[in-house]
Amino acid sequence: MATVVPHATDRPTAASPAARTRVAVAGATGYAGLELVRLLARHPTVTLTEAMSSGATGAPRPLPALKRIWDGSVAPLDVDRLAVNADILFLALPEAASAEVGAALLQRDKRVIDLSGAFRIRSDADRQRWYPATPTLPPGVVYGLSERHAEAISRAKLVSCPGCYPTAALLALEPLADAGLIEGAIVIDAKSGISGAGKTPSDRTHFCENHGSVAAYSVFSHRHTAEIEQELGTSVTFVPHLVPLDRGILETIYVSLRHGTTESLVTDALQRAYASAPFVRLTGSELPEIKHVAHGNFCDIGWRVDEARGRLVMVAVLDNLLKGAAGQAVQNLNILLGLDQRTGLL
Ligand SMILES: NC(=O)c1ccc[n+]([C@@H]2O[C@H](COP(=O)([O-])OP(=O)(O)OC[C@H]3O[C@@H](n4cnc5c(N)ncnc54)[C@H](OP(=O)(O)O)[C@@H]3O)[C@@H](O)[C@H]2O)c1
């Protein structure tokens, strides 16, 4: 299975300070925002000019984990200052804050890469239910699943990065849906590490509640269901679980196949879809594990087909804070800037 990726020497070398694109991060003290700062500080063609957080403490804050990688300090959120000092703004904020800040930055003619759910849902009724802070979608919003929508992303005013669970589910299922191989129910059994819930502890995410345990949650009521169904164009049963890991997602996906679908049809559909995708690794019948993708921007997908019964089981894994959040956001930055998608990520 040959994966065609551009030759390593195609990647840009470090740009001079004057030629660099100015970027900023709002939400830099959060789990996803910290990863963004880490990636952007080392990106060869951008300069990180601002990092901001809620400002709840009222004073600039250092990021001790990034000392000698990024030695700036995190300032209280100031939309005007963001707009003046950067051309492309990353928002790693709770969705209500993103809805407000994203709209304000678009009005100032800035380009935005948003990690929240605020701009993901196109149907007004569904968005009203799941993300009520965004009553209307501004023009120029593109759903930012990098492997599927690169051309639209390159022209977007606001790239709405997919949720962590939908990224894994859609990368696994969309090629099969496109090829017409799915018939009947789709069940997505998903496991996530606790960082998926952000840094503020709750009864469910407190160490003593999840250490040594696994729990299903939000059955039939998780907002990522709406996002997966929107992109896939069909209904799914999606059941997330919290597992006692700090990071990583594993989804076991159960699919009924169209009558007569062979294993080679499934394999062909996936190989065709990802022949030139640097961050999707197809593992065939070797099923991937979270430890293979933790701390990286890969989504690994494996599968087994029971031809006699018309059943397919897929396993998709990714790091929720990278391919499921900050890594995919930087991949989308590279697409916006016309760079090799791997720039600053590999
Ligand atoms: N965690 C994941 O795996 C993941 C994956 C995909 C997408 N996302 C999305 O990415 C966004 C960030 O997630 P996260 O897990 O990194 O969250 P988090 O750990 O809770 O961090 C939230 C960040 O936003 C800041 N903030 C909170 N309220 C604010 C406000 N009203 N105004 C300005 N800044 C505010 C916080 O600053 P303070 O430190 O000052 O409070 C912090 O920097 C969310 O929308 C989430 O749904 C997360």
Out of 66-70, 204-208, 248-252, 285-289, pick the least confident: 204-208
Give 309-340 pLDDT, tens digit per residue.
999 999 999 999 999 999 999 999 999 999 99
At 11, the pLDDT band (50, 70, 90 cuts) reads low
- State whether the beta carbon of 102 lies less than 6 angstroms from ligand 1: no
| Residue 266 clears pLDDT 70, i.e. is over it | yes
Q: What is the mean pLDDT of the chain?
A: 95
- State whether the beta carbon of 240 lies less than 6 angstroms from ligand 1: no
- State whether the beta carbon of 328 lies less than 6 angstroms from ligand 1: no
Six token digits for residue 140: 């120029």
CA 191 – ligand 1 centroid, Å: 20
Nearest to 344 by CA among 20, 45, 65, 15: 45
- State whether the beta carbon of 154 lies less than 6 angstroms from ligand 1: no
CA 57 – ligand 1 centroid, Å: 16
Q: How far apart are CA 91 and CA 167, in angstroms?
A: 18
At 18, the pLDDT band (50, 70, 90 cuts) reads confident
Give 36-80 pLDDT, tens digit per residue.
999 999 999 999 999 999 987 778 899 999 999 999 999 999 999
For residue 152, how many C-alpha atoms fall within 13 Å in the half-sphere facing its CB? 15
The alpha carbon torsion through 112, 223, 288, 269 (nearest 10 deg) reads: -80
Q: How far apart are CA 83 and CA 310, in angstroms?
A: 53
pTM for this prediction: 0.96
pLDDT of residue 40: 98
Average pLDDT over residues 194-200: 96
At residue 124, φ and ψ (nearest 5 deg) are -60, -40
307-345 burial: b if 16+ Cβ within 10 Å, else e = eeebebbbbbbbbbbbbbbbbbbbbbbbbbbebbbbbbb
The residue to mutate among 38, 52, 54, 164, having the most atoms of ligand 1 within 8 angstroms of its beta carbon, is 54
Ranges of CATH 3.30.360.10 domains, the chain = 164-320
Give 173-184 pLDDT, tens digit per residue.
999 999 999 999
Clarify whether 299 is annotated catalytic.
no
Report how far apart the first and last C-alpha atoms of the chain are (Å, whole number): 21
Q: Which atom of ligand 1 is nearest to the CA of 200?
A: 20
| Residue 123 clears pLDDT 50, i.e. is over it | yes
pLDDT of residue 7: 42
Query: Which residues, 6 or more positions from 276, have their beta carbon under 8 angstroms from its beta carbon?
Result: 3, 4, 5
- State whether the beta carbon of 32 lies less than 6 angstroms from ligand 1: yes
DSSP letter for each residue of 240-300: EEE-S-SS-EEEEEEEEEPTT--HHHHHHHHHHHTTT-TTEEEEETS---HHHHTTSS-EE
The residue to mutate among 36, 66, 78, 115, having the most atoms of ligand 1 within 8 angstroms of its beta carbon, is 115
Q: How far apart are CA 41 and CA 138, in angstroms?
A: 30
CA 93 – ligand 1 centroid, Å: 4
Ranges of CATH 3.40.50.720 domains, the chain = 8-162+325-336
Asked if residue 312 lies in contact with residue 269, where contact means CB atoms within 8 angstroms, the answer is: no
CA 54 – ligand 1 centroid, Å: 9
At 3, the pLDDT band (50, 70, 90 cuts) reads very low
- State whether the beta carbon of 248 lies less than 6 angstroms from ligand 1: no
Q: How far apart are CA 342 and CA 191, in angstroms?
A: 27
Average pLDDT over residues 257-286: 98
CATH H-level, domain 8-162+325-336: superfamily: NAD(P)-binding Rossmann-like Domain (3.40.50.720)
Quote the strand ranges of the chain, DSSP E. 21-26, 46-53, 61-62, 73-76, 88-91, 111-114, 141-143, 158-160, 182-192, 215-216, 237-242, 249-257, 280-284, 299-306, 311-318
Average pLDDT over residues 119-128: 97
Average pLDDT over residues 26-43: 98
Choosing from 161, 164, 208, 299, the catalytic residue is 164
| Residue 139 clears pLDDT 50, i.e. is over it | yes
At 10, the pLDDT band (50, 70, 90 cuts) reads low
Query: Which residues, 6 or more positions from 102, have their beta carbon under 8 angstroms from its beta carbon?
Result: 91, 112, 114, 118, 119, 138, 158
Q: Which atom of ligand 1 is nearest to the CA of 196?
A: 3
What letter would DSSP give residue 310? T
Average pLDDT over residues 234-257: 98
- State whether the beta carbon of 160 lies less than 6 angstroms from ligand 1: no
Domain range 164-320, its CATH number among 3.30.450.20, 3.40.50.720, 3.30.360.10, 3.40.50.300:
3.30.360.10
DSSP letter for each residue of 314-340: EEEEE-TTIIIIIHHHHHHHHHHTT--
CA 264 – ligand 1 centroid, Å: 42
